[in-house]
Amino acid sequence: MKIPSPGWCLALLLTLCFTLATLLVPRAGWWNDVPRAADWNASRSQSENVFKLLFGEGRRLFANEFFIMADSYFHSGYYPSIFDKQETEKDVATPAHGQAEDSDSTSDDFLGPPPDWIAALERRFVPNQHTHLNSGGASGHVKKDEVQEILPWLKLASDMNPQMIDTYTVGSYWLRRLKMPDEARNFLFEGLRNNPGNCELLFDLGSLYLEDLHDARRARNVWLAGLRCWNALPPAAQADPPVHQAFENTSMNLATLEEDQGNWQEAIRYLEMVKQISPNPDAIQKQIDEARQKMAAQPGTTHP
Amino acid sequence: MNTIGALAGVVIKELYRRKDFYVLFVLTAVITIAAGSVRFFQDPNIVRYVKDLCLLLIWVSALLITIATAARQIPAERENRTIFPLLAKPVARGQVILGKFLGCWLASGAALAVFYLFFAVITGSREHDWPVLDYLQAFLLQWAMLGIVTAMTLLGSIVFAAPSSTVTILFVVVAGILFLGRHLNTVALHNAEPMRSIIYAIYFIIPHLELFDVRERVVNDWGLVNWLDCGLAALYAVAYTGLFLVLTWLAFRRKSLN
């Protein structure tokens, strides 16, 4: 066998050293600093974010635009410009927020009648009807795989602004609707890595475990973690409407989960928590009374 | 007609000898393929963002090729002093303008056809769907729009001092029309007189290039635009192209060639 020349051997060794260095340097930094998995995940997530490298903190400005792009795709391009009447809430996000679709949509008639012949002619060359992708989009044919066209924009928005919670909640909602629970879970995990202990994300993750992966034990654990995180928040942060809503929903879902499993005392405890913050305490009290009656009807249970 | 055809042939040959088209085509192809190779949420069926990006690049590239080609035609003839033997053939100045316009327009159309072929192949391979008529309609409308831009640029090349200034000014004007043109009527309504009337006048005077932009329809599968409406748009393009060519001819007729 012919031995390569010393020059080639040196070049090979240098290449090997450089490759090893690129692999080991980030790990060595981690070994020396804080050897905790959360920190490792955080540093990896940041180093992987090309956009941070390119745009710095300015990338957050783009996140909103990408979220709007997702909403625009959801409407198949029929979307108000900055010169038109704007939507009060993005239609792509309303079902993810537990509201009925089109509950507050202004995009039905944002154009109004055409003011002149040029505008009238122009409207024939652009999308000119209010449609949603999940109801068939522009073609009117309901296709399962059309809604996923919004997903790249939500992913890009989350890459641009990892602290924008809506991108994770809306993205995971549509992924779940598309029967992609594993992808939805991974997206929520990504959100939690970037926003540790966020109540909204924990609520959505718990719902995913219960409804899509049928894992009640994990759902309970995640929701309980959500309640702990909410309790650890300062009062001003607790009063933030989405966070407040997430707490209410988490407590309510925990109550339902415990009811389903026959843990009436726990269920009543969670319902009492909901009652304290609910805008409709009478309805919750009615539910508590019903739960008490069911508990009393069951043999071998004790009253709280 | 033969004279005009011969002049147009020279312009078309110039396009494929220059590197502009090849560079822009390779850039468009590389960016589109790179974007298309990204897999979001492990889903291979997501395609609209690729179509959106590719069409945007096609629009930018087509405008670059058209404006850059048209802007240097007459200044280059003057600079190289080839305009004198050309006019001594004898070729009328109007024929020079028409020949240059036809050459630029056909050259931009040929380049555009290659871009759209690439677009159809890329989207077809992802979507497994071939809406050929939709793409043909988008191509024809964009080509009609490029006719107006070519005529505008030829006028600019006569009026402005150097091709570089023509290219810059035309880009600003075309981008302004594409981004703001359709909203000028809304802006006018939010202004008091006399600004309202001035903005409205601008709105009616400018060529509405955005009329020919059916990218949103193609990307979001809205289907074909009524062919009658396309015919109206083509008439609109012919009217503006003719107007700009007449203005170019008037300006060129009085222009000193020394």
Classify residue A70: in a domain, yes or no. Answer: yes
Q: Are residues A191 and A201 in the same domain?
A: no
The phi and psi torsions of A19 (rounded to 5 degrees) equal -65, -45
pLDDT of B160-208, one tens digit each?
878 899 999 999 999 999 999 888 888 888 888 888 999 999 999 999 9
Nearest CA-CA distance, residue B186 and chain A, Å:
7
**DSSP calls for B63-87:** HHHHHHHHHHHHHHHHHTT-HHHHH
Q: Report pLDDT for A39.
A: 45
User: Which chain A residue shows the shortest CA-CA distance from B138?
Assistant: A125
Cα A116 to Cα B185: distance, rounded to the nearest angstrom: 9
CA dihedral A66→A128→B49→B149, nearest 10 degrees, is -100
Q: Report pLDDT for A110.
A: 72
* Numbered residues of chain B with Cβ closer than 8 Å to any chain A Cβ: 38, 40-43, 45-49, 141, 182-183, 185-187, 189, 203-204, 208, 210-214, 216-217, 219-223, 225-226, 229, 232-233, 236
What single-letter amino acid sits at A99? Q
Nearest CA-CA distance, residue B122 and chain A, Å:
17
**DSSP calls for chain A:** -PPPPHHHHHHHHHHHHHHHHHHHHHHHHHHHS---HHHHHHHHHHHH-HHHHHHGGGHHHHHHHHHHHHHHHHTTT----TTSPPPSS-TTTTGGGTPPTTTT--TTSSS-S-SSHHHHHHTTSS--S---GGGTGGGT---GGGGGGGHHHHHHHHHH-TT-HHHHHHHHHHHHHTT-HHHHHHHHHHHHHHSTT-HHHHHHHHHIIIIIS--HHHHHHHHHHHHHHHHTS-HHHHTSHHHHHHHHHHHHHHHHHHHHTT-HHHHHHHHHHHHHH-S-HHHHHHHHHHHHHHHHHSTT----
Residue that wins the pLDDT comparison between B157 and A49: B157
Structure tokens at B232: 């109206």
Return the exposure string of B128-152: e unless at least 16 CB atoms fall within 10 Å of the residue's CB, then b: eeebeebbebbbbbbbbbbbbbbbb
User: Which chain A residue shows the shortest CA-CA distance from B187?
Assistant: A83
- Residue B53 CA: distances (Å) to CA of A155, B16, B215: 16, 25, 10
Q: Are residues A128 and A50 in the same domain?
A: yes
For residue B118, pLDDT over 90 is answered with yes
The residue among A173, A195, A217 that closes a domain is A195
Global pTM reads 0.81
The residue among A195, A217, A236 that closes a domain is A195
Question: Which of B186, B214, B219 lies closest to A125 in CB terms?
Answer: B214
Question: Which of B42, B203, B220 lies closest to A138 in CB terms?
Answer: B220
| Mean pLDDT value of segment B2-24 | 85
Q: Report pLDDT for B26.
A: 93
Contact B47 A139 (CB under 8 A): no
Q: Report pLDDT for B45.
A: 80
Classify residue A25: in a domain, yes or no. Answer: no
Nearest CA-CA distance, residue A149 and chain B, Å:
5
Classify residue A229: in a domain, yes or no. Answer: yes
Q: Are residues A179 and A204 in the same domain?
A: no
Q: Report pLDDT for A105.
A: 54
Q: Report pLDDT for A52.
A: 72
The residue among A166, A195, A224 that closes a domain is A195
Contact B49 A152 (CB under 8 A): yes
**Which candidate in B42, B53, B221 is best for mutational testing of the A interface (most A CBs within 10 A)?**
B221
Classify residue A69: in a domain, yes or no. Answer: yes
Angle at alpha carbon of residue A136, lines to A131 and A141, rounded to 5°: 130
**Which candidate in A79, A125, A175, A183 is best for mutational testing of the B interface (most B CBs within 10 A)?**
A125
CATH assignment at residue A218: 1.25.40.10
* In chain A, residues 78-97 whose CB comes closer than 8 Å to chain B: 81, 83-84
Q: Does A137 touch chain B (CB under 8 A)?
A: yes
How many CB pairs lie under 8 A apart between chains A and B?
91
Give the residue among B151, B150, B169 at the shortest CA–CA distance from B160.
B169
Nearest CA-CA distance, residue B132 and chain A, Å:
16
Q: Report pLDDT for A103.
A: 47
Contact A127 B221 (CB under 8 A): no
Classify residue A78: in a domain, yes or no. Answer: yes
Q: Are residues A178 and A246 in the same domain?
A: no
Q: Which residues, other chains included, contact A54 with Cβ-Cβ below 8 Å and sequence gap of 6+? A: none
Q: Report pLDDT for A301.
A: 54
Classify residue A26: in a domain, yes or no. Answer: no
Here the ipTM equals 0.84
Peptide bond into A114 cis (omega under 30): no
Domain count, chain A: 2
* In chain A, residues 19-58 whose CB comes closer than 8 Å to chain B: none
Cα B7 to Cα B1: distance, rounded to the nearest angstrom: 10
Q: Are B150 and B105 in contact (CB under 8 A)?
A: yes
Contact A77 B225 (CB under 8 A): no
Contact A121 B232 (CB under 8 A): yes
Q: Are residues A167 and A205 in the same domain?
A: no
Contact A152 B46 (CB under 8 A): yes
Question: Which of B46, B182, B226 lies closest to A149 in CB terms?
Answer: B46
Q: Are A153 and B48 in contact (CB under 8 A)?
A: no
Give CB contacts under 8 A, 24+ apart, made by A114-117.
A115/B185, A115/B189, A116/B185
From chain A, pick out residues whose CB is under 8 angstroms from the CB of B185. Answer: 115-116, 118-119
Nearest CA-CA distance, residue A138 and chain B, Å:
5
User: Within 13 A of B246's CA, how many CA atoms are on the CB side?
Assistant: 6
Q: Are residues A191 and A237 in the same domain?
A: no
Q: Report pLDDT for B117.
A: 95
pLDDT band at B66 (very low <50, low <70, confident <90, very high): very high
Cα A209 to Cα A189: distance, rounded to the nearest angstrom: 12
From chain B, pick out residues whose CB is under 8 angstroms from the CB of A112. Answer: none
User: Which chain A residue shows the shortest CA-CA distance from B186?
Assistant: A83
How many CB atoms neighbour CB A95 within 10 A?
18
Q: Report pLDDT for A36.
A: 42
Question: Which of A84, A124, A155 lies closest to B40 in CB terms?
Answer: A155
From chain B, pick out residues whose CB is under 8 angstroms from the CB of A74. Answer: none
pLDDT of B124-149, one tens digit each?
888 888 889 999 999 999 999 999 99
Q: Are residues A188 and A64 in the same domain?
A: yes
User: Which chain B residue shows the shortest CA-CA distance from A155?
Assistant: B40
Q: Are residues A140 and A245 in the same domain?
A: no
Q: Are residues A92 and A113 in the same domain?
A: yes
List, run by run, the mean pLDDT of 10-residue segments along chain A (304 residues): 73 80 64 43 53 76 88 86 71 71 56 84 86 69 68 91 90 91 92 90 92 90 89 84 86 86 82 81 81 74 50
Cα B111 to Cα B103: distance, rounded to the nearest angstrom: 12
Q: Report pLDDT for A57.
A: 75
Classify residue A191: in a domain, yes or no. Answer: yes
Q: Report pLDDT for A47.
A: 45
How many CB atoms neighbour CB A223 within 10 A?
26
Q: Are residues A221 and A278 in the same domain?
A: yes
Q: Report pLDDT for A101.
A: 62
Structure tokens at B69: 């080609």
From chain B, pick out residues whose CB is under 8 angstroms from the CB of A110. Answer: none
The per-residue pLDDT of chain B, averaged, comes to 90
Q: Are residues A251 and A227 in the same domain?
A: yes
Residue A139 structural domain: 39-195
For residue B241, pLDDT over 90 is answered with yes
Nearest CA-CA distance, residue A67 and chain B, Å:
14
Classify residue A1: in a domain, yes or no. Answer: no
Q: Are residues A156 and A263 in the same domain?
A: no
